[in-house]
Amino acid sequence: MDHVIRVRGLCTRFGDHIVHEDLDLDVRRGEILGVVGGSGTGKSVLLRQIIGLLDPAEGEIEVLGEPVRDTSPEAFRRLRRRWGVMFQGGALFSSLSVRENVEAPMREQFDLPDEFRETLAAIKVRMVGLPENAMDKRPSELSGGMRKRAGFARAIALDPEIVFLDEPTAGLDPIGAAALDSLVAQLRDALGLTVFLVTHDLDTLHAICDRVAVLAERRVLAIGTLDELRAVDHPWIRDYFGGPRGRAAAGEH
Amino acid sequence: MTDAPFEISDDTLRLSGELSLGRVARMQIPDHLPVDRIDLDSVEKLDTAGAWFLVQLSERAGGASIHGATPSQTALIETVRRSAGAAEDPPEDHVTLRGGTVALGHIVWDGIRDVLGLTAFLGRFVAELGQLLRHPTRLRGVSLVHHMQAAGLDAVPIVTLMAFLIGVVVAFQGSAQLERFGAEIFVVDLIAISVLRELGILLTAIIVAGRSASAFTAAIGTMKMREEVDALRALGLDPDVVLVAPRILALIIMLPILGILANIAGLAGGATMAWIDLGIAPGAFADRIVTGIGAWHLAVGLIKAPFFALIIGLVGCRNGLRVGGDAESLGRLTSTSVVTSIFLVIAADAVFSIFFALMGV
């Protein structure tokens, strides 16, 4: 099996507080992996460590076969080009328009003619389903859902191989959340992405995730399809997937 | 072009190699393409930019069909074809006389609205102050003291140092001129009048404007961006009471005190220089001030202090509340705060000068 992300023996400590201890995780090429866990189990921390924003205390992290830690700045720059990240609130640059936000990574990584870059950015903005008039708006003029879409457009600006999404559907209405889910699945098929998705949204897990990793007890407690996870006998997993919301989400799909 | 991947034979355009962003950017679409098939068999990698390039090629060739794509490549090409959209030409900006006039009108109108807005804000603050006088318990005591320390006490070192140096400079320049007339003793009058009436309080106000107007705008503006101001309103708390009143009141209380300290430091600086340069002993310097300089000179300076404080506080707080959703507006309004408050302080000082001249004090 071709693994695009490989985490081994990861330990994370904040002072005396231990977040991860000896955590292992593999992500397969082309899959949509959902990462779930209670608040404070270090889901977002794990995401930030994989993309090199945070340095763990111990452990190895390999993305696309290259180490994220202990690498030269030049090699890390080349590696960073091959993934895209969408942060929780979209994290759009507030002084740039939506199109300029999508252009930003292209401008940084490639020396492209202006017109070509604008055309490509416009394609990406339309791909994520934003209306034509959103192109030149500032992020503060957009609704929460549109901001997430714009953040997604910026994440896929360079045709990355992996996309990291931090709670993409949080704060969206059910219709907007479902639309974003199908957008992620659709673009995964079109662009051949691998998606690493941190979420709390049970509907998202059911709708698009190929596998789900459960973070609990400072490690990946279980990983597998939803059916496999339901068979796991662990109080937290039982409560999560067997609770009223979990059952409701399962019943619909 | 050296790496052109084109190869045309039998109405078929064969493409090879990578069709990716870095390469496509350097390729040009030929004007004339006599093909009706595009073959991708030997294309190794295709990304969005490559797919867009293919769509353009196929259109240029009059709708040539694309063959040899893998299912995922077909999906990508279809997605891009749907998203390519109409090539729109952005409306060009022509600078016309009419456009220029309209722009000028907007600038004037915005300026007027700005002045009106500041006046309205002053009105709100005065009304709020009236409320606070009737119900003093509504005043946030802790917040007031905190801002008195941040805007007042913490500014003491820089304000006194600056005033001391100004006293030195005035004494030095004055003595060089007055010595030529043998009127060295009048350097005392020069220092006392200029420092007490104008320089002490004006320069203090300018430093406080730079320190506190910017701090007020940045602090309130950040709260506005993070929706904390909305949260206050939603909790039934008035931002004017919680955020604005303590800051402005703290300045109104502290600026006169800073002004007095600046006056003392300025006179000390002047006296030091007069002693060193002209040999006027500190005792004689003090005597001359007590007998020769009226108390009105001190009063004229200090009367202005609360007004300057009001200007600085109002401009700083109001600009903070005007911050929008983006980081740029925070930076722009913070610098506007400093510039506007310093300008208004100097303008107000000019008005006071004329007023006191007419009143004969």
Highest mean pLDDT: which range of B75-79, B125-129, B165-169: B165-169
Contact yes or no for B346/B246 (Cβ under 8 A): no
Does B85 contact A106 at a Cβ distance shorter than 8 Å?
no
The most distant pair of C-alpha atoms in chain B lies apart, rounded to whole Å, by 111
- Provide the pLDDT confidence category of residue B309 given band limits of 50, 70 and 90: very high
Q: Side by side, which strands form the sheet with B37-46?
A: B7-9, B12-19, B37-46, B65-67
pLDDT the model gives residue A119: 86
Structure tokens at B64: 């040539």
- Provide the pLDDT confidence category of residue B146 given band limits of 50, 70 and 90: very high
Which residues face A7 on adjacent strands? A25, A61
Distance between CA atoms of B329 and B319, rounded to whole angstroms?
10
Residues B31 and B130 both lie in one domain: no
> In chain B, what residues touch A139 (CB-CB under 8 Å)?
325-326
Per DSSP, the three-state class of B17 is strand
CA distance B326 to chain A (A): 5
Distance between CA atoms of B117 and A149, rounded to whole angstroms?
37
Say how many C-beta atoms besides its own lie within 10 A of residue B235's C-beta: 8
Q: What is the pLDDT of chain A when averaged over all its residues?
A: 85
> In chain B, what residues touch A123 (CB-CB under 8 Å)?
48, 52, 80, 83-85
Residue A124 has pLDDT above 80, yes or no: yes
Residue B193: φ, ψ to 5°? -70, -45
Contact yes or no for B246/B143 (Cβ under 8 A): yes
pLDDT the model gives residue A1: 59
Residues B201 and B306 both lie in one domain: yes
Which residues contact residue B44 at a Cβ distance below 8 angstroms, ignoring those fewer than 6 apart?
Answer: B17, B18
Choose the mutation target among A108, A123, A141, A189 for the interface with B, i.e. most B CBs under 10 Å.
A123
Residues B273 and B340 both lie in one domain: yes
Q: What is the mean pLDDT of residues A175-196?
A: 84
Residues B275 and B165 both lie in one domain: yes
Distance between CA atoms of B58 and B52, rounded to whole angstroms?
10
- Provide the pLDDT confidence category of residue B1 given band limits of 50, 70 and 90: very low
Contact yes or no for B43/B13 (Cβ under 8 A): no
pLDDT the model gives residue A156: 87
B95 domain residue, yes or no: no
Q: Side by side, which strands form the sheet with A83-86?
A: A83-86, A162-166, A194-198, A32-37, A211-216, A219-224
CA distance to A98, A121, A125, per residue, from A153 (Å): 9, 8, 6
Instruction: Label each residue of chain A as H, E or C.
Output: CCEEEEEEEEEEEECCEEEEEEEEEEEECCCEEEEEECCCCCHHHHHHHHCCCCCCCEEEEEECCEECCCCCHHHHHHHHCCEEEECCCCCCCCCCCHHHHHHHHHHHHCCCCHHHHHHHHHHHHHHCCCCHHHCCCCHHHCCHHHHHHHHHHHHCCCCCCEEEEECCCCCCCHHHHHHHHHHHHHHHHHHCCEEEEECCCHHHHHHHCCEEEEEECCEEEEEECHHHHHCCCCHHHHHHHHCHHHHHHHHHC
Closest CB to B75 among A94, A119, A190: A190
B110 domain residue, yes or no: no
Highest mean pLDDT: which range of A90-99, A108-117, B201-210, B288-297: B201-210
Residues B156 and B234 both lie in one domain: yes
Residue A219: φ, ψ to 5°? -150, 180
Which residues contact residue B3 at a Cβ distance below 8 angstroms, ignoring those fewer than 6 apart?
Answer: B17, B23, B26, B27
B106 domain residue, yes or no: no
Of the candidates B152, B171, B129, the residue with the CA atom closest to the CA atom of residue B258: B152
- Provide the pLDDT confidence category of residue B108 given band limits of 50, 70 and 90: very high
CA distance A96 to chain B (A): 9
Contact yes or no for B216/B291 (Cβ under 8 A): no
Per DSSP, the three-state class of B42 is strand
Closest CB to B327 among A95, A106, A112: A95
Q: What is the mean pLDDT of residues A189-203?
A: 86
Per DSSP, the three-state class of B86 is coil
Which residues contact residue B179 at a Cβ distance below 8 angstroms, ignoring those fewer than 6 apart?
Answer: B278
Residue B87 has pLDDT above 60, yes or no: no
How high is the ipTM of this complex?
0.74
Q: What is the mean pLDDT of residues A90-108?
A: 85
Q: Which CATH homologous superfamily contains domain A3-252?
A: P-loop containing nucleotide triphosphate hydrolases (3.40.50.300)
Per DSSP, the three-state class of B18 is strand
Strands A162-166 and B7-9: unpaired
Residues B206 and B282 both lie in one domain: yes
B115 domain residue, yes or no: no
Structure tokens at B312: 């600085």
Distance between CA atoms of B50 and A251, rounded to whole angstroms?
42
Per DSSP, the three-state class of B291 is helix
Contact yes or no for B39/B68 (Cβ under 8 A): yes
pLDDT the model gives residue B2: 41
Distance between CA atoms of B57 and B19, rounded to whole angstroms?
13
Q: What is the mean pLDDT of residues A202-217?
A: 88
The most distant pair of C-alpha atoms in chain A lies apart, rounded to whole Å, by 57
- Asked if the C-beta of B79 comes within 8 angstroms of chain A's C-beta atoms, the answer is yes
Does A110 contact B21 at a Cβ distance shorter than 8 Å?
yes
**Number of folded domains that form chain B:** 2
B189 domain residue, yes or no: yes
Residue A39: φ, ψ to 5°? -65, 140
B89 domain residue, yes or no: no
Q: What is the mean pLDDT of residues B129-135?
A: 89
A→B contacts (Cβ < 8 Å), by residue, are 94-95, 106, 110, 112-113, 116, 119-120, 122-124, 126-127, 132, 138-141, 158-159, 186-187, 189-192
The single-letter DSSP state of residue B1 is -
Does B48 contact A192 at a Cβ distance shorter than 8 Å?
no
> In chain B, what residues touch A126 (CB-CB under 8 Å)?
82-85
Does A159 contact B49 at a Cβ distance shorter than 8 Å?
yes
> In chain A, what residues touch B327 (CB-CB under 8 Å)?
94-95
CA distance A160 to chain B (A): 9
Residue where one domain finishes, among candidates B21, B53, B84: B84
Residues B206 and B343 both lie in one domain: yes
CA distance A119 to chain B (A): 8
Residues B161 and B264 both lie in one domain: yes
Choose the mutation target among B80, B93, B332 for the interface with A, i.e. most A CBs under 10 Å.
B80
Which amino acid would we find at residue A171?
Answer: G
CA distance A143 to chain B (A): 12
Closest-approach residue (CA) in chain A for B325: A140
- Asked if the C-beta of B53 comes within 8 angstroms of chain A's C-beta atoms, the answer is no
Residue B4 has pLDDT above 60, yes or no: no
How many Cβ contacts (< 8 angstroms) between chains A and B?
67
Please give the residue range of the domain that contains residue B31.
7-84
